[in-house]
Amino acid sequence: MASVPPLLRSLGQRMLTLLAGLLAGAIAAILMTLAMAASRYWLGIMPPVEAVPDRIARMLDIDSFFSLFGKYGGYNGLKKFGIVSGLRGVFGVGLVVGLVYALIIESASSRRSRRWFFGASTPALIFLAVASLAAWIGLVIFLWPVLPANYRGLPYSWARLATIAALFVWIALFSSTVMLIYRAITLRIFPITRGQTADPVRRPVSRILPRRAFVAAAGGAALTIPIYRLLRTMYNDATFPYDGTVYSGEDIEPITPTDRFYTVTKNVVDPDVVRDIWRLEIGGHVDNTLSLSFDNLKQFEQVDQETTLMCISNRIGAGLFSNANWKGVRLRDVLESAGIRDGAHEAVLTGADAYRDTFPIEKALEESTLLVYEINGEPLPRVHGYPVRAIVPGMFGEKNVKWITRIDVATEDVQGFYEQQGWGPNFEPYTRSDIFDPRTVLQGGSFSFRQQFPANQPVEIRGRAFAGDRGISSVDISTDGGETWTRAEIYYAGTMLTWSLWRYRWTPPKPGEYVITSRAFDAAGEPQTQEVGGIVPQGASGYHKVTMTIV
């Protein structure tokens, strides 16, 4: 049998060492992913696969944001895309780094190197060190706004440091694994070409060890099992089943049952805060920075308050909209205990998920702006901000930050998560009225009742009206598309901070199609605008019109 030419044999060995680099990079990526998943699950530290999409989301303008919604099937689809892309990115980076490492360690300069540490040449070590340091510094700079996230509720001032330290550990683990795996699956030899004088500087050549490579690959594959279990556990705990929950239907009550309260969240997995380590920090433009435990917070005067919340994305006639009884303390009392300095402009609130939003300091000092820990007589559920969230009457739900861990008093305008995308600048709901009974259906942009009704038989029409913190004085209803109006009965008046529920009994005189329309007046007698506006950028406006078919 003819012998393999030396050139082909050399090329074959080079290809095998490149495969060794790819294998080392893949195993390192798998091990780092396991470390990230474990840190996220047990320590609540947000890994880059989650932090990078979260960071990018707040940098998108509204048009790009909704374009991605349509492309990936809504917010949940976009969340899944972000996480899957992040995991693919980690694995891809692992392969690239492993390949480059193999190229460097088998380069001529490495082979001439007199210094080797743990089977790595000086050039290869410099590459790993520089690449790791650059990645760490780059991630810290880029992810700075989201680094305070800690899903177990670690205090804000410690959460950022914990995330920075975790980034360093993850990257160091990755780099050292690349180096050690490559060394373990290759053998360095010092060949002397027959018939020639040996090079005074003996240049080693790496040869892959098939058995060790197989064992390493099997070990890497085995690591995917705990990764899968952790990711499956987090997927089962993810927000996908309840994000976007609405409160709609014919059975709407004055006080929304807690388990049916509308829910919107930006997170893939919501914080699961440990109350004993949770702290509320007060800082910024104040005389004294504070760090309050849950028990410290409850020492302030406690307040019970009924308040309605509504999402800025709530269309006319939709159900991202609920009312509840809340218990907590006044934000004003907490801020004043820290001493608000002259020149204060805004309150900046940050949650355990690094979500940030703001509102004027005047709003923060109103009697009705609260930090709450109970809803409808029970501790806040996790999905609604346990252990403490903000309640800011008269502003859209985005301003009512959940899982709150930090409040800063700012002297200048600070933009929150959605404000950075271009929402606002006015986050106060328009006065509105919606029909919810009989049940309606939206088809082709128009509402109609799901059932038909007989002529000359009375039908009761019910709805809800809301004006932020301006209260509702009356509601009118029209059965002819707004040509004439009749006063409806308000059977649940609520308060200045809540919705009101109304009803109207009507006997349709003859068969045909009728356009039922409602309009509300706030407590000052100002009517809602009939000008139709979409949810972007300041919330929906206009009359709710529903077609009723009479037979």
403/440 same-domain check = no
Q: Is residue 48 one of the residues assigned to a domain?
A: yes
**Is it the case that residue 12 has pLDDT exceeding 60?**
no
Domain boundary among 172, 202, 236: 236
Q: Could you give the maximum distance between any two Cα atoms of the chain, in Å?
A: 113
How do residues 468-499 score in pLDDT, each as one tens digit?
999 999 999 999 999 999 999 999 999 999 99
pLDDT, position 191: 55
Q: What's the mean pLDDT when you consider all of the chain?
A: 93
**Is it the case that residue 444 has pLDDT exceeding 90?**
no
How do residues 51-99 score in pLDDT, each as one tens digit?
999 999 999 999 999 999 889 989 999 999 999 999 999 999 999 999 9
Q: Which residues contact 5 (CB under 8 A, 6 or more apart)?
A: none
303/359 same-domain check = yes
pLDDT, position 369: 98
pLDDT confidence of 4, banded at 50, 70, 90?
Answer: very low
Instruction: Pick the range with the lowest mean pLDDT from 183-187, 312-316, 396-400.
Output: 183-187
pLDDT above 70 coverage of the chain, percent: 93
Radius of gyration, alpha carbons of the chain: 31
Instruction: State the average pLDDT over residues 125-150.
Output: 97
Domain boundary among 369, 394, 421: 421
Residue in 152, 154, 156, 409 with CA at minimum distance from that of residue 281: 156
193/279 same-domain check = no
pLDDT, position 335: 98
Q: Is residue 427 one of the residues assigned to a domain?
A: no
Q: Is residue 243 one of the residues assigned to a domain?
A: no
H helix or E strand, kind and range, residue 133? helix 122-142
How do residues 30-40 score in pLDDT, each as one tens digit?
999 999 999 99
Query: Which two three-digit tokens encode residue 270?
Result: 């919501």
- Kindly report the length of the chain: 551
How do residues 208-227 score in pLDDT, each as one tens digit?
888 999 999 999 999 999 99
pLDDT, position 97: 97
How do residues 285-325 score in pLDDT, each as one tens digit?
999 999 999 999 999 999 999 999 999 999 999 999 999 99
Domain residue limits at 75: 6-236
The SS3 of residue 294 is helix
pLDDT, position 206: 73
Q: Is residue 241 one of the residues assigned to a domain?
A: no
Beta-strand relationship, 280-284 and 404-410: parallel
For every residue of 236-288, DSSP letters joined together read HTSSTTTTTB---STT--SS--GGGS-B--S-SS-----TTT--EEEEESBSS
Residue in 467, 466, 497 with CA at minimum distance from that of residue 369: 497
* Beta-bridge partner residues of 208: 186
d(CA 423, CA 42): 35
Q: How crowded is residue 378: how many other Cβ atoms within 10 Å of its Cβ?
A: 9
* Number of domains composing the chain: 3
228/286 same-domain check = no
175/227 same-domain check = yes
Q: Is residue 249 one of the residues assigned to a domain?
A: no
pLDDT confidence of 533, banded at 50, 70, 90?
Answer: very high
378/325 same-domain check = yes
How do residues 250-287 score in pLDDT, each as one tens digit?
999 999 999 999 999 999 999 999 999 999 999 999 99
C-alpha separations of 269 from 128, 325, 381, 480 in Å: 33, 26, 14, 47
Alpha helices (H) along 4-121: 6-38, 48-57, 62-72, 74-105, 108-112
14/143 same-domain check = yes
Residue in 376, 404, 408 with CA at minimum distance from that of residue 297: 404
Query: Which two three-digit tokens encode residue 11?
Result: 């090329």
Query: Which two three-digit tokens encode residue 278?
Result: 């949770």
191/295 same-domain check = no
Q: Is residue 253 one of the residues assigned to a domain?
A: no
199/289 same-domain check = no
d(CA 525, CA 517): 18
Query: Which two three-digit tokens encode residue 517?
Result: 């329309």
pLDDT, position 107: 83
d(CA 431, CA 435): 14
d(CA 541, CA 468): 13
pLDDT, position 110: 74
305/224 same-domain check = no
Query: Which two three-digit tokens encode residue 75?
Result: 């917010």
Residue in 371, 422, 418 with CA at minimum distance from that of residue 392: 371
Which residue type does 299 have? Q
Strands, DSSP E only, in 364-509?
Answer: 370-375, 378-379, 389-391, 404-410, 432-437, 440-443, 446-449, 459-466, 472-478, 486-487, 489-492, 500-506
pLDDT confidence of 7, banded at 50, 70, 90?
Answer: very low
Look up the CATH number of the domain holding residue 482.
2.60.40.650
Do 201 and 112 contact (CB within 8 A), yes or no? yes
Residue with tokens 């509320």: 280
pLDDT, position 9: 46
Look up the CATH number of the domain holding residue 298.
3.90.420.10
pLDDT, position 200: 45
pLDDT confidence of 1, banded at 50, 70, 90?
Answer: very low
Q: Which residue has the higher pLDDT, 192 or 508?
A: 508
pLDDT, position 68: 92
pLDDT, position 203: 59
pLDDT above 90 coverage of the chain, percent: 86
Q: Is residue 374 one of the residues assigned to a domain?
A: yes
Q: Is residue 210 one of the residues assigned to a domain?
A: yes
Residue with tokens 């001439």: 112
Domain boundary among 398, 421, 444: 421
**End-to-end Cα separation, the chain, in angstroms:** 95
pLDDT, position 108: 76
528/501 same-domain check = yes
315/461 same-domain check = no
* CB half-sphere exposure, 460, CA atoms < 13 A: 7
d(CA 418, CA 112): 56
d(CA 60, CA 58): 6
